Every structure is written in structure tokens, then in C-alpha cells.
Amino acid sequence: MSDRVLVVGGTGLIGSTVAEHLAERGDAVTIMARRPAGESDPPGVAGMPRLVGDYAEDDLDAVSLDGFDAVVFAAGADIRHIPADVDETAFWDRTQGVGVPRFAEAARRAGVGRFVQIGSYYHQLHPEWAESIPYVAARKAADERTRALSDDGFAAITVNPPSIVGAVPGRSLRGWGRMISWVRGELDAPEVFAPPGGTNYMSARSLAQAVAGALANGEGGRAYLVGDANLTYRAYFQLIADVAGSDEVIVERDAEQPFQPDRFIVQGRGRVIAYEPDAADTALLGYARDDVESALERIVHASDGVTR
């Protein structure tokens, strides 16, 4: 029997990939987005039922969530989304620490049985960073406050992934097209190099599989750290170049790089985040590993099909 699942943030990269994956396995999927359906929606979610609203504005009554067996929350703002000249504390409260658990509580009141939040890996690996990095503190608060809502009738689960590799048609794919041209040496600027440091990477497809596993098998109140490939930024950009058929050799330089700007390196330029996800958790959630290179191949193929 299929579940009735609401995917919040269903027009973004992660949310749309999750929505497609759940629909392919037979679930009845509805997406929630801030805007009505339009031409910019990823093709995979076109035609899916939709709720229009913004979880962070608390503009959905709990009754709107009636009838869903589960919610996947894929809409939390990250470090790339904070506008300039805003009150950072208020922004993170609204979009993370207060906004996410408030929405989860609305789902619980509506009788939703399972709530899977897609978070981020920083605080699960380095909880001490929450003391000095507001973004990490916000992710930690959203994670812990949401999972604390778990009870006999409501299982709140967090899946904490690393940097995600994937693209959807539109702005996302156009950005990849420029990066692919860059590693092929087709742009006069910026100069081709990578900053020091690195992190763990995971494909959007693998993450969607992990979320499906959490919906089916995850334990209420648990946070699952997921991931795939540990790569330096130099190795990551070299992999993109190799997959794109470029003969460029990526060198490392201790300078800010436009495709990996310092403001997106939460741990700080030069630092490496590397880990192996727990084997038992990986088996429980049932997601594939070694998919980063394949994800890049899919992106290059899609980008070349659009731009060349």
C-alpha cells in the first residue's frame, strides 16, 4: 500500500529528486512550494499535486496537512540563501531553529505519522561549531527541536547529508554549464585552480534513497549521518574536469575561488571534513554509495545537451 507523502521544498534540487524517487516507488506524492506551478519547475514534479505556502511564514494551518501519512522536509535555508543586510539571528530563527520545528509540530497535530527532515552534517560531526558559527547553530537547533517532538504516534527523524551533487533544468543546470566550460579551459576568467580543503560529497540520487529508507525504517528521534566520497576541493574539481573530457590539470592555491567561494566553506578555507558513515545506518537506509562520479557524468551529459 502506498503512502501519502508531502515533500516540502519539492521544486528544489533535493526536494524534486526525493519526490521523483518516492513517486517511482509507488507513493502518492504531493509537493509544497512557495509558488504555483510554472515552467521553471523541474520536469519530474510537473503535474504532481501541490500545496502553495511558505513554512517559514507560518501561513499554513495544520488542517492543510490532513491526510498525509508522512512529510519530507527538504526546504530548510542554508548558508547560500541568507540575503545581504538582514538580521542573521532572526533569519536563522525563522528558517531553521523556530520555523522547522513549528512546521513539524503542525504536522504532528494534523495526524502525520512520520516526519523526515533533511538537515546538514556539520553539527552532527562537530557540535562544538554551533558555539561560533550561527548557521551550524541554526541547523543544530532545527534538528534537535524537531526530533524532540517524537512520541508514540509521531516519528521525527533527521537525515544529515554532506555537500550534494546534482542539478535540475534551469538556473541550476546553467550554473553547472558555466563550471563545465571553466574546467574545460573555455573561459578567459576565472583562472582554473582549487582552494585548499575539502569535504564529503553525496549525489542527490543517493540522498533520495536514504530519505526513502528513513521513511520506511528510520527510528523516531534519531539523526542519521549519511555521505559518500571524501574529496579535497582540488580532487573534486579535477573529477569534474575528467568527466567533462578536459585535459586541464587542477592545481591548488590558497586563494578564494569563484566556484567555491569562502562564504560557502562553512568550516573555513583549508580545512577538510572527512568521515565514513556508519555501515549499519547505511544498510538500514539502503542508499547507494560510489555515485558521485556517476552524478557528475549525468550533469555533464545534461548540460551539453542544453548548451552545446
Angle, CA 80 vertex, CA 5 and CA 160 arms, to 5°: 45
- 136-140: long-range contacts, CB 8 A cutoff, minimum separation 24: 136/266, 137/92, 137/97, 138/92, 138/93, 138/95, 138/96, 138/97, 139/76, 139/96
Burial classification of residue 84, based on how many CB atoms lie within 10 Å of its CB (0-12 exposed, 13-18 middle, 19 or more buried): exposed
Residue 61 has pLDDT above 80, yes or no: no
Does the predicted TM-score (pTM) go above 0.75?
yes
pLDDT at 305: 74
Separation of alpha carbons 274 and 228, rounded Å? 10
Residue pLDDT, tens place only, 194-234: 999 999 999 999 999 999 999 999 999 999 999 999 999 99
Q: Which residues, other chains included, contact 165 with Cβ-Cβ below 8 Å and sequence gap of 6+?
A: 201, 202, 203, 204, 292, 295, 296, 299
pLDDT at 58: 67
Q: 84 pLDDT band (50/70/90 cuts)?
A: confident
Residue pLDDT, tens place only, 140-152: 999 999 999 999 9
What domains, with CATH codes, occur in the chain?
A: 4-164+201-228 (3.40.50.720), 166-199+230-276+288-307 (3.90.25)
Separation of alpha carbons 48 and 181, rounded Å? 34
Q: 88 pLDDT band (50/70/90 cuts)?
A: confident
Residue 251 CA, chain-centre distance (Å), reads 28
pLDDT at 225: 98
Ramachandran sector of residue 240 (left: φ over 0; alpha: ψ -120 to 50; beta: rest):
alpha
Higher pLDDT, 259 or 235: 235
Mean pLDDT over 37-58 rounds to 88
Q: Which residues, other chains included, contact 86 with Cβ-Cβ below 8 Å and sequence gap of 6+?
A: none
Q: Which residues, other chains included, contact 178 with Cβ-Cβ below 8 Å and sequence gap of 6+?
A: 187
pLDDT averaged over every residue in the chain: 93
Residue pLDDT, tens place only, 150-171: 999 999 999 999 999 999 887 7
Separation of alpha carbons 40 and 9, rounded Å? 14
C-alpha grid cell, residue 245: 573530457
For residue 28, how many other CB atoms are within 10 A of its CB? 16
Separation of alpha carbons 71 and 69, rounded Å? 7
pLDDT at 270: 96
Mean pLDDT over 50-78 rounds to 85
Angle, CA 226 vertex, CA 173 and CA 236 arms, to 5°: 45
C-alpha grid cell, residue 104: 513539524
pLDDT at 131: 95
Mean pLDDT over 88-96 rounds to 89
Higher pLDDT, 109 or 76: 109
**3-class DSSP assignment, residue 262:** helix
Give, to the nearest 10 degrees, the angle between helix 171-183 and helix 233-243.
Answer: 90
Higher pLDDT, 194 or 190: 194
The alpha-helical segments, DSSP class H, found in the chain are: 13-24, 88-92, 99-109, 122-125, 134-147, 171-183, 204-217, 233-243, 279-285, 292-307
Q: Among 5-14, 37-46, 251-260, 290-299, whose mean pLDDT is lowest?
A: 37-46
Mean pLDDT over 71-87 rounds to 86
Residues in the chain: 308
Residue 78 has pLDDT above 70, yes or no: yes
Q: Which of 116, 180, 174, 181 is nearest to 149 (CA)?
A: 116
